[in-house]
Structure 1
C-alpha cells in the first residue's frame, strides 16, 4: 500500500510540472509511467547545452542550430535545428535523437539535455510530505536552546546566507524571522489558496534562523513555476547571486541527469565561478527519491550534499537519497517552522483535495529542510571561530565523521555540533 501511495504521489507531482511547462518539457524515458523506476529526468524540448568551445563543431555536426542569449560564459544553450540529421538514431523525441547522434559522433557528455531542476518536495518516487497543520502557538522544532543563541554564542552573527528558492513571504508571528529579506513570492492562486510549493523559502529561512538566530538571510525568487527552473537559468541565477557577496548559498533543489553525468550548466558555474570565490560554500539538498543515484548539485565534490535523518535521530529518513556522495545527514523529518497563513488544497495522494488551514506555521519533511539546518550550523560556527564558510563546513564535516550512524553515515545534530564551541 505504501508503494502504491508513493507511486500515485509521484505521478501527481510530475503531472503538476507538465501542466505548468506544457510542451516545453519532456520526460525521459518516454514510457516513464509504465516503468517501475519511473522518470529518470525532465528536460527541455528542442534545446541542448554545450560548452562554449564545442559549439562550432556541434553546429556543424547537427547541420544547424542557434545559440541562445544569456547564461554565463563557458556554457551555451543551443536551440536545435528543425531537421534531425537523417543518419541520427531512431527515437520518437527529436531532442533525444540529437543527443544520441552527438553521443555516437562526439562521445557522451559533450552535448547534454537542459535538465529541469526542482525544489526537493517535488518529482520523487518516494517523496517527502506536503506541509501539514500544527496547533496554534507551537514553537519551531528543532531550535537551539537559549545559551546557543545568546550574544557571543554560535548565532551566525556577521554571516550572510542567500537562499535560492520560490521567494519570501513575511510571517509576522515568527519573531525569529525579523530582518530576513528577499523577493516576494506569488504565494496564492486566483481563488486565494496557497499554491503548491509556496512557503518553501519562508520555511527554509525559518529553519536557518532557528539554528543561527542572527544570521543575515536573503531569499531569492527563482523557482517560480511549479517549484522548478531550467538548468541554464539556474546557472545564471547562481552567477547573479554572487553579486550579493554571500558566505553561504543554500539550495534545496536539484535533479538527476542523463547518464548520471554532472549537470553541465552547474559544472561550469562551480568550476569557473564558485571555486574562485575564497571561502564561499554551496550547501545543497540530496533529494527525496530514496535512491543512491547522483542528485545534482548536491553530488558535486565542491558542494555540501545534505541528506535527511528520520525524526528518531537514528535512521535515515525513508525518502532521503543516500550514498557515498552525500556528505552528511541532518534532521529533516517532521520539522516545524514558519509558513503562510491561509488555506491549502493538497495535490498528492492519498490526501488529494483535502483542505488544510494554516496560521503561519507548518510541519514539513524533506532534505529541503535538512539543508538550511546544516547551513545554519556552518553560520553558527563561523560566528564563534572566525573561520570562513569553507573552513567551517570542513570542520563540521570532520566532526560528523566522528559520530557516524551505522547504516546511515556522518550525522550532524545541532547541539552536538556546536556544543563544544560555547563560551
Structure 2
C-alpha cells in the first residue's frame, strides 16, 4: 500500500474484495411514532431493530441472523449475530474428511459443497453448502452436525472443524451498541483524551511505532485541519481505496468511526504512524473471512503493523471462538509473538458472553468504564475474558463536517450539525485509548508491543464493580 510523498507503508494492499464494499448505501427508517421516549425497554429494542436494518439494507438482504440458543429470529431486536447464508468455514486440513462426510450423507442434501474462495490464512476454506432436504438451516444445522460428528464439544478448547462465516460489525445487535450512542455535538472544542505533547526529540520516521486501525476508513478532510490538528498527514494516512467519502448534507451512520479512533490514538501517542484501513464500509460490517484475509495480508508484510486496533467484533454460533480469527492466530503464533499485538473492543451489549476477536487469549480485550470508575452500562464484561477497562464514555475527537440526522430512538429525526469534532461513547473508543497508551510506552521505552502492554497493564487501578459483581482493572485517564 503506497502513498505518494508520504510515510512508508505499513500494510500490504488489501484484497480486491474490499473494493466491492463501498458506500453509499441507503437506510430505510422505521416508524417510531409508537415508541415512547419514557419507555427504555421499548426504545432499546427499537434501537436494535434500527441498527439491524442498517446492516440488512447494506447487504441488500443477502444475510442471515440467529438469536437466543442460535435459532432463527422473528424479531430483529433478538439477534445475537449475523452470518453468511449458504456458506461455511472449514479447517483446510480437515477438508477431505468433511467432503467425505457429505458424500456419505448424499440423501440428506441437494448436491455437494463447492469450494468458492482461495484459502483464508492458509488454514481455512470457504464452502458453499448444498441445501438440506429436511428444511433445516443450511448453515447452522449442517455446522452443528459436522462438529458433532468430528467430536467437537462445548468443553473442547480447540477450534471447531466448521463454523458459520459470521459478520464482524462496529455495532452490536442488542441494546447498548458499539458505538453505544450516536455521535453528539461536543460541549468542548478540545479532544478527550487530551492531546499529549510531542516527544522530544521526535523519533525518526523509521523508528515510529506502526499502528493499523481496522475500521470504516479515513475521512481525509480531518487531516491537518484546524479542528483536529493532532491528525497530521506525516503520521495518519490511508490508501486511496480506504478513504471514507461523506455527504456533508447527510452524514451516513457510522461515518467517521475510523477517523475518530485514529484521533484517539494520535492524541495519546503523537509521532505514531497510523494507517486506517477501510474494511468495515458496508453498514459498518464485513464477513469474518474477509476481514481475516486482509489481516493475513497485513501480518505477512515485512513491515507489518506492530499494533492492530480493532473496534469491531461479533458474538458467535455456540459462543465458540470465531474460526477465521482462530486460524489467523495459529498461523502467526499471535499468543507467542512479541512483535505484534491485537487490541480489540469488548463490545457493547452489557453481556458477559465472549465477543470475538477480543475474547481470544492473544488479544487485549478492552471494556469501558465511566469517569467514576464504574463499568459503563453498555459495556460487555467478564473476568474470564475482558483483560482491562478504559474510559469509553463521552470521548471527543475528529468527525466529519456536516449534518447528521439521528435514526435511533429516542432522538430519531433530530438533526445535529458537526464542525469537525464529535462526542461519542462505546468500547469502540476505549480500545484505542489502550492502543494509544501502549504505543506511547513503546516509543518511550523502545520496547516491544508485548512488553509495552505489560508495562501499561502494571499501571492498572484495581476496583470492584458491585453492579457486575466483579473486580476490574482500569488503565488510562478518566477525567
- TM-score computed with the length of structure 1 as normaliser: 0.89
Structure-2 separation of matches of 1:80 and 1:21: 20
Give the deviation of 1:253 after TM superposition: 0.5
Count residues with an aligned counterpart. 402
Shift of 1:345: 1.6
Structure 2 match to 1:165: 215
Structure 1 equivalent of residue 245 of structure 2:
187
1 CA distance for matches of 2:431 and 2:326? Answer: 20
Q: CA deviation at 1:234?
A: 1.1
RMSD: 2.4
Determine helix, strand or coil for the equivalent of 1:410: strand
Name the residue aligned to 2:149.
105
Deviation at 1:110, TM superposition (A): 1.7
Cα distance between partner residues in 2 of 1:337 and 1:199? 10
Contact 2:391 2:478 in 1 (8 A): no
Deviation at 1:33, TM superposition (A): 4.6
Partner of 1:65: 113
CA contact (8 A) 1:164 1:251 kept: yes
> Which whole-Å deviations, capped at 9, do the CAs of 1:147-201 have from their partners, x for residues lacking one?
xx441599x9721111001100121221100121014434335x84111111001
1:271-318 deviation line (CA, Å, top 9, x unaligned): 2125275421000000011100000010000000000111x2310111
Point out where structure 2 has 5 or more consecutive residues left out of the alignment: 1-38, 104-111, 153-159, 466-470
Structure (1/2) with the larger helix percentage:
1
Structure 1 position 175 matched with structure 2 position 229: yes
Question: For residue 419 of structure 1, what is the aligned residue in structure 2?
Answer: none
Q: 1:175 & 1:35 partners in 2: Cα distance?
A: 41
What is the rounded CA distance, in whole Å, between the counterparts of 1:274 and 1:131 in structure 2? Answer: 37
| Shift of residue 126, structure 1, vs aligned partner | 1.8
Offset of 1:31 from its aligned partner?
4.6
Residue 253 of structure 1 aligns to a residue in which SS?
coil
Per-residue CA deviation, residues 122-152 of structure 1 (Å, 9 max, x unaligned), is 43322200111125x7110111554xx4415
The partner residue of 1:237 within 280, 294, 298 is 294
Select the residue among 79, 83, 98 that pairs with 1:43. Answer: 83
Using the alignment, how far apart are the partners of 2:265 and 2:76 within structure 1? 38
Work out whether residues 184 and 422 of structure 2, in 8 Å CA contact, stay in contact via their aligned partners in 1.
Answer: yes
Q: Distance in 2 between matches of 1:161 and 1:254?
A: 19
Deviates further, 331-340 or 125-134:
125-134
Report how far residue 374 of structure 1 moved.
Answer: 0.4
Choose the corresponding residue for 1:305, options 352, 360, 365.
365
**SS of match in other structure, 1:113:** strand
The answer for the alignment partner of 2:31 in structure 1 is: none
Moved more, 97-106 or 250-259: 97-106
Is 1:26 aligned with 2:64?
A: yes
- Kindly indicate whether residue 259 of structure 2 is the aligned counterpart of residue 202 of structure 1: yes
Preserved CA contact (<8 Å) 1:52 1:75: yes
CA distance in 2, matches of 1:322, 1:384: 31
- 1:247 is matched with which residue? 306
What residue ranges of structure 1 are gaps of 5+ in the alignment? Answer: 417-423
